Every structure is written in C-alpha cells, then in structure tokens.
C-alpha cells in the first residue's frame, strides 16, 4: 500500500526550532508515522523537505515565516491523525503554566518580562536572526545586559548594538554567542564546571602546524590505515565553529581536506543548532563514508547544558552507516573525535565516550590532538 504524505501550513506562526524538533520527535513516535517534520519554511528547510518528499500541498508555497507540519504515514488515517496530534502538541506548548487565581498569561515581550521581574539584569535572546537586533536593542534600552545567542545578524547591527551597550555601560555578548559562564551560571551551551578563581580567561591560538611532540600523540596509538589510491582527504564535520577552525589549523593548510562547521549561519537559518539537531551533520557523515576520497573522518561531540541529551548516541547510527558504506567499497576509514565535556555534564562524559568507542571511533584527548592525529594518520599511511 502506498504511503500517505500530508502537510499543513500555519502562516506567520512561530515556535523556536528546538521546540519544533521536540514536537517532530513526539509525532514520529505515533503509530503509523514513518517520517515527520515541523520546520519554518526557510529555503534550506524547504530543500530538506523536498529531499524527503515531504514538500507537498500548501507547503510548496510556504515562506520563511510559515510553519510547515509535514508527515508521511502508512495510510491517510494515520497521517491525518498525526497532523491533528501535532496541532494539539503545538497548542500544549503555547499553554501557560498551571493557572492559579487570577489567571495570567506569559509576557509577550522582553520589556513586559522585565516588568514582571524588575530585578532581572540579563536578557537571553535566541530568536531568529532577522529579529534579533531589535530584541537586543529593546533589552539594552531597558538597562539589561544581553547574551545574544542568535546568529544571522548583520555587521552593521552588531556594531550598533556594541556601541549602544558601551554607551550604557552594559555587556553585549554576541551576536552568535554560543556559550558563556557568568557568576558560575552557564548560558547557552555550557559545560558544567567546578567554580574557582579565574584571573584571566582567553582563548589562545595554538600553533598552526602538526606537532606530535607537543601533543604527545604517537602514531603507534593510532589505527593503521591501508589507503586506496585517491583516498587522502580528511573530512572534518563539526558542531562548534571554533573547534572546526582549531582542527583545520592543526592539520595545516591544505586544499585537499574539507572542514564544515554545521553551526554556521547558513546551516542554522530556520532550524536548530547541530548540537541539538544532528540531522544535517549525520547526513554528511553518511555521505563521507560513501566518498572514495575520504580517509579520515574528524568529528566533535559536545556535551553540556543545552546540548542534545545523547549526542554520541545520536551520531552513532550515522557513523556505523558511514563505516559500512566504506567497507562495502573495500575502503578503510578512520573516525577520530574529541568529546568536549566534563564529568559534571548531564550527558555523562564517560558514558558518551564509551558509546563512541563501541562504534569504532578513536577518541583523542583534545580537539587539537584530534587534528594532529588526523594529520599523522595520513602521513603514516603514506609512509
């Protein structure tokens, strides 16, 4: 029997991409549902819907401000039921908390939220980029420090916000500020750390060449690869932008290799960050396994507050698939990764590392180590 594909569109609706992801997951758990997607109809998301054959009906004419609910189910009844359930789930998310007397509704603007808590001193802004500067400016005007998580903010707006904040003596973190720890509180994506005294914290630029002595990475610790002809590329697929740059720097400059930061603006328009939504990177991991040029797959796995509840577990199926595809083509493929996290993080560092090791992933002590190791691996194979 043919599957039934249906899509509903809510014009000018907004729900943050993380909440949409959660509703998608709840839909997927419904009986008879084969695939489901709740996304804002940005160009990227429309392409993804189209790739999954979910861009049907009204969804074809939906724009970036429209919410598309698309479902593929075993039959029409199941598809209709799933769409109805999605509406209910969405309505549930809009509902205010347990109502006492008198009834109240949640604040509809940062200004109003600040009025509800006049002692508030910081605004956390993670709305879509096109609206982010306005929200940040409103918060600054109201005397709030700003942590601006949103990306896709123009340079002109960024400069303007920084100047405004400076004039008012306020902190303006971001745009595209993924993480911060303020007074021991982690904002955005933050690893849980023990409190202590920090006199100066600064991201240091590491030497931009592979340095086995410095890192202590020994070729003997690494898998021995027998590479086929033309198989000499390192494919770095990252959630963290800084991690991506660091690994690329550790590899040294070479046009052969390919590094992609899935947290970059172009991948997050209208969808959640890859640390929360692994879909796009997982797809790229599988593709890398089928690519005859790729010798080493380099990954970051990021734990902490705000991150996926099980990032290792979420990427393992894709890693296994990539390895299986390479093996099917009689190629050897090394998967190297570093887990960014602490033993205090909710995902559990040891558990996450064990999950990755069980899938055949080689873990390195730091992201930089991983970059160096990838480089040594290729040299070792060539030697």
Partner 1 sequence: MTRSVLESPLRVVSAGAALLAQTLATQGLAVEEVDWRPPAEGSLELAVTLGQLWDPRIDAANEVALRRVLDARQVLLDVRPAGEVIPGMQREMVLHAGPPIDWARLSPTVRAAAVGAIMHEGLAPDADLAEQMAARGDVRFEPCHHHQTVGPMAGMTTYSMPVLVVENRAAGNRAYAILNEGLGRVLRYGGLGPDVLERLDWMRRVLGPAMGEALRGMPEGIDLRALIAQAVHMGDECHNRNRAASALLIKDLAPRIAALDSLDATERRRVLEFAAGNEHFFLNVGMAACKAAMDAAHGVPRSSLVTVMARNGTDFGIRVSGLGDRWFTGPAQTPRGLYFAGHSADDASPDMGDSAITETAGLGGFAMAAAPAIVQFVGGSPQDAILHSQRMYEITAGESEAYTLPILNFRGTPTGVDIRMVVQTGIVPQINTGIASKRAGVGQIGAGLVNPPYECFAGAVMAFDGAQ
C-beta separation of 111 from 141 below 8 A = no
By the rule CB under 8 A, 216 interacts with partner 1: no
# residues contacting partner 1 (CB under 8 A): 69
Integer Cα distance of 371 and 211 in angstroms: 10
Stretch that binds partner 1, among 52-60, 77-85, 134-142, 212-220 (CB under 8 A): 134-142
By the rule CB under 8 A, 19 interacts with partner 1: yes
Going across the sheet that includes 33-40, the strands are: 4-10, 67-73, 33-40
The SS3 assignment for 347 reads coil
Q: Least Å distance between CB 308 and partner 1? A: 10
DSSP state of 305: B
By the rule CB under 8 A, 182 interacts with partner 1: yes
End-to-end CA distance of the chain: 55
Residue 51 class from Cβ within 10 Å (0-12 exposed, 13-18 middle, 19+ buried)? exposed
**Beta carbons within 10 angstroms of residue 66's beta carbon:** 19
Stretch that binds partner 1, among 112-120, 197-205, 216-224, 287-295 (CB under 8 A): 112-120
Name the nearest CA neighbour of 345 among 300, 304, 312, 302.
304
| Position among 170, 251, 297, 377 found at the interface with partner 1 (CB under 8 A) | 170
By the rule CB under 8 A, 17 interacts with partner 1: yes
| Position among 3, 10, 18, 348 found at the interface with partner 1 (CB under 8 A) | 18
HEC letters along 264-290: CHHHHCCCCCCCCCCHHHHHHHHHHHH
| Position among 187, 294, 296, 319 found at the interface with partner 1 (CB under 8 A) | 187
By the rule CB under 8 A, 34 interacts with partner 1: no
Stretch that binds partner 1, among 14-22, 73-81, 195-203, 360-368 (CB under 8 A): 14-22
| Position among 34, 89, 120, 280 found at the interface with partner 1 (CB under 8 A) | 120
Binding site for partner 1 (CB under 8 A): 11-14, 16-19, 65, 93-94, 102-117, 119-128, 130-131, 133-135, 137-141, 143-145, 149-150, 157, 168-171, 182-183, 185-188, 190, 272, 276, 305-306, 346
């Amino acid at each position: 029997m043919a599957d039934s594909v249906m899509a509903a569109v809510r014009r000018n609706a907004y729900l943050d991409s993380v909440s949409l992801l959660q509703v998608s997951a709840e839909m997927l758990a419904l009986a008879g549902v084969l695939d489901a997607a709740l996304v804002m109809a940005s160009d990227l998301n429309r392409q993804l819907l189209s790739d999954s054959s979910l861009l049907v009906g009204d969804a074809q004419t939906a724009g970036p401000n429209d919410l598309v609910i698309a479902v593929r189910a075993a039959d029409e009844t199941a598809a209709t039921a799933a769409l109805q359930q999605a509406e209910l789930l969405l309505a549930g998310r809009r509902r205010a908390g347990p109502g006492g007397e008198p009834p109240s509704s949640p604040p509809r603007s940062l200004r109003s939220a600040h009025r509800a808590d006049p002692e508030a001193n910081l605004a956390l802004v993670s709305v879509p980029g096109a609206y982010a500067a306005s929200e940040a400016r409103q918060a600054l005007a109201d005397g709030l420090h700003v942590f601006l998580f949103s990306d896709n903010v123009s340079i002109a707006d960024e400069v303007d916000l920084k100047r405004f904040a400076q004039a008012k003596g306020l902190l303006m973190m971001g745009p595209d500020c993924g993480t911060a720890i303020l007074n021991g509180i982690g904002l955005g994506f933050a690893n849980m750390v023990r409190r202590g005294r920090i006199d100066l914290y600064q991201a240091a630029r590491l030497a931009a060449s592979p340095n086995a002595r410095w890192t202590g990475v020994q070729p003997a610790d690494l898998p021995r690869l027998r590479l086929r002809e033309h198989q000499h590329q390192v494919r770095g697929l990252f959630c963290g932008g800084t991690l991506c740059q660091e690994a690329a720097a550790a590899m040294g400059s070479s046009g052969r290799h390919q590094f992609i930061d899935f947290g970059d603006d172009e991948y997050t328009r209208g969808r959640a960050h890859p640390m929360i939504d692994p879909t796009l990177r997982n797809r790229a991991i599988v593709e890398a396994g089928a690519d005859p040029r790729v010798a080493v797959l380099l990954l970051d796995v990021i734990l902490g507050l705000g991150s996926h509840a099980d990032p290792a577990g979420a990427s393992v199926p894709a890693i296994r698939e990539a390895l299986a595809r390479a093996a099917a083509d009689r190629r050897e493929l090394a998967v190297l990764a570093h887990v960014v996290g602490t033993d205090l993080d909710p995902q559990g560092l040891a558990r996450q590392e064990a999950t990755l090791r069980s899938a055949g992933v080689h873990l390195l002590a730091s992201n930089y180590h991983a970059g160096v190791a990838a480089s040594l691996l290729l040299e070792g194979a060539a030697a």
